[in-house]
């Protein structure tokens, strides 16, 4: 899922990579890619337009953060905007002060409405909210049976009056029953049609008018992409929704629907369906969905952590040191600690776009290498740490460090040689690209 979008964004980032600043001109290239990516992911055109103009405004006003590359910063801006468009936080299902909480399920036929009704009941039962399901789809005879079967499966009662009764009356009596029995939440499954149909809408409106639900949840099939926007608009204008359930997120949906629903209705997606089984329902978290849409490992965590951990004054000092080749083993250890605070090396490398494909073996090797470095450095005297040249010129000092740290003399030789190489490399680059430490990972 979302592969197309992730690939597009990847190429947008590439355009910014290697550039030291977000600027008016490079931002346009990247924005074009994001725009194409979203359209390919089947996001509604108007939603895309609004999204792009927000991102553009934010990217242009963005302060440069030391230790963060502009492409990483751009990803973060896109990410923040994705999160915002999808509602920022998880919004749980309402719970009325007075029992029962009334939930009305709306949506087209085949979207997974009946399944979602049962899934929701199971979810609520798990958090100790008793449920009653109400079957009002009298047009499709199998619909009532389907709900009864699902009810048995999850051990939740189903209220029905057969297929001759009036759906509005079934809903009204269902709510009465829940009230009489002290049930926490009553979930009303309604009839769907293959397309928006005025009779269906009118009936839904009448049910809503009669039972006055606390929640009206629109069930949206995530495979419908563009269409989700129109669907949401129509239901919201004619019925008024308080939230949505996005179904079939386990399939190869292109993800567009996830962006449209809240942008258009202002109502949050509350749950996502991720499979046919009744257990396959998850609360919707905009931040997790945004990471998933970006599909780039967790660059965002990297940027956030770098922003938190990396003291700017310190960074400047460090950069100066590198430029003047004064970067020594004490600074190196500081950087290693910083990396450690930020999580495992594997975790960090995975966060960097394009690096995610390193094999576990390679990552493990990198980790081992870093541990070795630290062990050897801790066997150095302060003087040796401050003056790497001292070690380069003295085999006896290197021998002492080898025996002190339990590594071979050749390991110490290699560390010292690599360090010198790295220093001159850094000098050549003329700038530090923190928190990456070129040349020391591969071993
Ligand atoms: P309704 O007509 O809207 O009530 O839809 P149903 O609940 O009968 O579901 C239609 C089909 O979609 C059924 O085959 C369900 O098993 C399937 N379905 C529902 N939700 C999901 C989901 O989250 N993932 C997958 N893969 N299938 C789902």
DSSP 192-213: --SS--HHHHHHHHHHHHHH--
Closest CA to 114 of 105, 125, 123, 124: 105
- Judged against a pLDDT cut of 60, whether residue 232 lies above it is answered with yes
Best probe residue, ligand 1, of 104, 115, 195 (max atoms within 8 Å of C-beta) = 115
pLDDT computed for residue 4 by the predictor:
53
User: Has 109 been labeled as part of a binding site?
Assistant: yes
Q: Are 9 and 72 in contact (CB under 8 A)?
A: no
pLDDT computed for residue 438 by the predictor:
43
**What is the radius of gyration, based on Cα positions, of the chain?**
29
The verdict on the CB of residue 423 being under 6 Å from ligand 1 is: no
Q: What is the sign of the dihedral through the CA atoms of 168, 170, 173 and 177?
A: negative
Ligand 1 atom 9: the closest Cα is on which residue? 112
Written as six digits, the tokens of 364 are: 């493990």
Ligand 1 atom 27: the closest Cα is on which residue? 276
Written as six digits, the tokens of 16 are: 């910014």
The verdict on the CB of residue 250 being under 6 Å from ligand 1 is: yes
pLDDT computed for residue 440 by the predictor:
43
Q: Is 219 helix (H, G, I), strand (E, B) or coil?
A: strand
User: Has 234 been labeled as part of a binding site?
Assistant: no
Q: Across residues 224-243, what is the average pLDDT?
A: 91
Q: Are 166 and 202 in contact (CB under 8 A)?
A: no
Name the band, by pLDDT with cuts 50, 70 and 90, for residue 430. Answer: low
pLDDT computed for residue 129 by the predictor:
96
192 or 304, which is more confident? Answer: 192
**Average model confidence (pLDDT) across the chain:** 82
pLDDT computed for residue 45 by the predictor:
87
Q: How many helices (H) and strands (E) does the chain have?
A: 20, 8
CA of 106 to the centre of ligand 1 (A): 14
| Global ipTM | 0.98
Distance CA(30)–CA(18), nearest Å, equals 13
- The residues, any chain, with a CB within 8 Å of residue 399's CB and separated by 6 or more, are 409, 412
Query: Rounded to the nearest 10 degrees, what angle do helices 256-265 and 45-60 cross at?
Result: 90
User: Residue 41 is inside which H or E element, if any?
Assistant: none
Q: Point out the ligand 1 atom lying closest to the alpha carbon of residue 273.
A: 23
Q: Are 208 and 104 in contact (CB under 8 A)?
A: yes
Name the band, by pLDDT with cuts 50, 70 and 90, for residue 165. Answer: very high
The verdict on the CB of residue 104 being under 6 Å from ligand 1 is: no
Written as six digits, the tokens of 177 are: 């029953």
User: Has 114 been labeled as part of a binding site?
Assistant: yes
CA of 145 to the centre of ligand 1 (A): 15
The verdict on the CB of residue 265 being under 6 Å from ligand 1 is: no
The verdict on the CB of residue 181 being under 6 Å from ligand 1 is: no
Distance CA(144)–CA(259), nearest Å, equals 32
Name the band, by pLDDT with cuts 50, 70 and 90, for residue 162. Answer: very high
pLDDT computed for residue 442 by the predictor:
38
User: Has 248 been labeled as part of a binding site?
Assistant: yes
pLDDT computed for residue 324 by the predictor:
65
User: Has 189 been labeled as part of a binding site?
Assistant: yes
CA of 390 to the centre of ligand 1 (A): 70
Distance CA(101)–CA(83), nearest Å, equals 28
pLDDT computed for residue 316 by the predictor:
64
pLDDT computed for residue 434 by the predictor:
45
- Beta strand pairing status for 269-273 and 281-283? antiparallel
User: Has 18 been labeled as part of a binding site?
Assistant: no
Written as six digits, the tokens of 139 are: 């047009």
Ligand 1 atom 16: the closest Cα is on which residue? 276
The verdict on the CB of residue 72 being under 6 Å from ligand 1 is: no
CA of 276 to the centre of ligand 1 (A): 6
Percentage of residues in the chain with pLDDT exceeding 70? 76
Q: For residue 110, how many other CB atoms are within 10 A of its CB?
A: 12
Q: Across residues 414-425, what is the average pLDDT?
A: 82
pLDDT computed for residue 339 by the predictor:
64
User: Which pLDDT tens digit goes with each residue over 307-349?
Assistant: 555 555 566 666 676 666 677 887 777 777 666 655 555 555 5
Going along the chain from its start, the domains and CATH numbers come out as 3-89 (1.20.120.140), 101-284 (3.40.50.300), 310-429 (1.10.260.30)
CA of 79 to the centre of ligand 1 (A): 30
pLDDT computed for residue 429 by the predictor:
61
Most confident of 130-134, 276-280, 357-361, 396-400: 130-134
Distance CA(379)–CA(373), nearest Å, equals 10
Distance CA(48)–CA(184), nearest Å, equals 40
User: Has 193 been labeled as part of a binding site?
Assistant: yes
pLDDT computed for residue 369 by the predictor:
78
Ligand 1 atom 12: the closest Cα is on which residue? 112
Distance CA(188)–CA(102), nearest Å, equals 8
The verdict on the CB of residue 280 being under 6 Å from ligand 1 is: yes
The verdict on the CB of residue 120 being under 6 Å from ligand 1 is: no
CA of 247 to the centre of ligand 1 (A): 7
The verdict on the CB of residue 252 being under 6 Å from ligand 1 is: no
251 or 258, which is more confident? Answer: 258
pLDDT computed for residue 308 by the predictor:
54
Most confident of 127-141, 360-374, 428-442: 127-141
The verdict on the CB of residue 274 being under 6 Å from ligand 1 is: yes
User: Has 61 been labeled as part of a binding site?
Assistant: no
Q: Point out the ligand 1 atom lying closest to the alpha carbon of residue 109.
A: 2
- The residues, any chain, with a CB within 8 Å of residue 140's CB and separated by 6 or more, are 109, 191
pLDDT computed for residue 7 by the predictor:
64
User: Which pLDDT tens digit goes with each residue over 12-62?
Assistant: 667 666 666 777 777 887 888 888 878 877 788 888 999 999 999 988 877
Residue 396 has φ and ψ, to the nearest 5°, of -70, -35
């Amino acid at each position: 899922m979302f592969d197309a979008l992730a690939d597009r964004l990847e190429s947008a980032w590439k355009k910014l990579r290697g550039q030291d600043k977000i600027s008016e001109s490079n931002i346009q290239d990247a924005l074009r890619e994001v725009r194409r990516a979203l359209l390919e992911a089947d996001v509604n055109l108007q939603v895309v337009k609004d999204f792009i103009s927000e991102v553009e405004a934010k990217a242009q006003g963005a302060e440069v953060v030391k230790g963060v590359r502009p492409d990483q910063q751009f990803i973060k801006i896109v990410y923040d905007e994705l999160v915002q468009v999808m509602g920022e936080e998880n919004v749980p299902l309402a719970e009325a002060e007075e029992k029962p909480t009334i939930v009305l399920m709306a949506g087209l036929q085949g979207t997974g409405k009946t399944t979602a009704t049962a899934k929701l009941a199971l979810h609520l039962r798990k958090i100790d909210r008793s449920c009653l399901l109400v079957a009002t789809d009298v047009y499709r005879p199998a619909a009532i049976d389907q709900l009864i079967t699902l009810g048995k499966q999850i051990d939740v009662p189903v209220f029905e009056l057969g297929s001759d009764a009036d759906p509005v009356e079934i809903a009204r009596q269902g709510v009465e029953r829940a009230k009489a029995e002290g049930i926490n939440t009553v979930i009303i499954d309604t009839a769907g049609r293959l397309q928006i149909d005025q009779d269906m809408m009118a009936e839904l409106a009448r049910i809503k008018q009669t039972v006055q639900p606390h929640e009206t949840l629109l069930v949206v099939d995530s495979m419908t992409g563009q269409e989700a926007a129109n669907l949401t608009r129509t239901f919201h204008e004619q019925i008024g929704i308080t939230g949505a359930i996005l179904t079939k997120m386990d399939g190869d949906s292109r993800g567009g629907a996830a962006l449209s629903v809240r942008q258009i209705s202002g109502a949050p997606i509350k749950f996502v369906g991720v499979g046919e089984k009744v257990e396959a329902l998850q609360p919707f978290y905009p931040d997790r969905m945004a990471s998933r849409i970006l599909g780039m490992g967790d660059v965002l965590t990297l940027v956030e952590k770098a922003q938190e951990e990396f003291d700017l004054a310190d960074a400047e000092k460090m950069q100066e040191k590198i430029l003047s080749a004064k970067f020594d083993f004490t600074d190196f250890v500081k950087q290693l600690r910083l990396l450690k605070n930020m999580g495992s090396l594997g975790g960090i490398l995975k966060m960097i776009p394009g690096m995610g494909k390193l094999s576990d073996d390679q990552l493990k090797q990198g980790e081992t290498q870093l541990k070795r470095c630290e062990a050897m450095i801790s066997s150095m005297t302060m003087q040796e740490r401050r003056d790497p040249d001292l070690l380069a010129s003295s085999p006896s000092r290197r021998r002492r460090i080898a025996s002190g740290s339990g590594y071979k003399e050749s390991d110490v030789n290699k560390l010292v040689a690599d360090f010198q190489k790295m220093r001159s490399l850094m000098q050549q680059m003329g700038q530090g690209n923190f928190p990456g430490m070129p040349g020391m990972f591969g071993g």
